[in-house]
Structure 1
Amino acid sequence: MDFSCDSARDLPAMEITAALERLARLFLRLAPRGELSLTAVSVLSLLDRSGPRRLTDLATGEGVTQPAMTQLVSRLQEAGLAERAGDPEDGRVVLVHVTDAGRAALAERRAARAALLSGLLSQLAEAELDGLVAALPAIDSLTSLMPDERPATVRSS
């Protein structure tokens, strides 16, 4: 694969990539230490945002094997954070749902991160904070462009 930068849009893409990598690292460091892995949080968030999903769809979306996803969903189910139920449209299909306890765990995790982030944001200049707030619509638009399922391969154009 060729990942070279050839166009004028590639330079901002490289700078944005580097900034987002640093932001992702910061975000990971803000994660409260607990029982939920990043994959578990990602799955619960997807279920909360998009509704019930098949195990195979969850595995594909997270880039893990179906057996690994089955184990994760079993652990989430044992913890009361997710449940399996039949698909009302196709009795042969089992869908995974987030429970109220799963939603509460996500909310608690987000609140803990927000509290830590708030402390960091308070150290920024007002113009920097305003810039971050102004970027939120663009970040939302960017993240909505990527489907919930990961592509099998990434191709450069």
Structure 2
Amino acid sequence: MRLVREVSTVGDLSSTAASVLSQLARMGPSRITDMAHVAGISQPAMSQLVGRLEHEGLVTRAVDGDDRRGVLVAISDPGRAVIGARRAQRAAIFDEALGRLDESDRSRIAAALPALDRLVEAVLEP
């Protein structure tokens, strides 16, 4: 994970901000309290982060249709573009690095990918 964070520089986002945008892209609009819980930060810290992301145009806020007292945060089109650019950047870096490995190493990595996918799914399951 450290390597992924280090090679993802598009948008000049902190790892927490990038994680929040990715979460919103995957899960859809969310309440700040739920987002803070998932990110493992306080609700006031998440409110500040959302404020910065909103100021940068990467997220939007809207009144929750089910509970008019609540606010839902959603990723914006520019936010999706940043997340997409970060993914493309990582893919290009890893593709170039894989090209420097010999065929047997690439084969072993390819064979491990299904198990790694299952591991990621197990970690992300609520």
Q: TM-score, normalised by structure 1?
A: 0.73
For 2:4, the equivalent position in structure 1 comes to 27
For 1:78, the equivalent position in structure 2 comes to 55
Answering whether residue 111 of structure 2 is matched by residue 134 of structure 1, we say yes
Answering whether residue 119 of structure 2 is matched by residue 146 of structure 1, we say no
Deviations 1:86-116 (A, max 9, x none): 1222212211100111000011111112222
Give 1 or 2: higher helix fraction: 2
User: For this pair of structures, how many residues does the alignment match?
Assistant: 126
CA distance in 1, matches of 2:109, 2:63: 43
Q: 1:147 to 1:112 in 2, by over 3 A?
A: closer
Q: Is the 8 A contact 2:61 2:73 kept in 1?
A: yes
Unpaired segments of 5 or more residues in structure 1? 1-23, 150-157
Q: Is the 8 A contact 1:86 1:95 kept in 2?
A: yes
Answering whether residue 93 of structure 2 is matched by residue 107 of structure 1, we say no
Q: Is the 8 A contact 1:61 1:148 kept in 2?
A: no
Unpaired segments of 5 or more residues in structure 2? none
CA distance in 1, matches of 2:70, 2:110: 42
Q: Is the 8 A contact 1:52 1:97 kept in 2?
A: yes
The amino acid that maps onto 1:66 is Q
Deviations 1:100-153 (A, max 9, x none): 11000011111112222211110112222222222222222112222467xxxx
Q: Percent identity?
A: 47
| Among 17, 36, 48, the residue aligned to 1:59 | 36
Q: Is the 8 A contact 1:30 1:117 kept in 2?
A: no
Q: 1:111 to 1:147 in 2, by over 3 A?
A: closer
Larger radius of gyration: 1
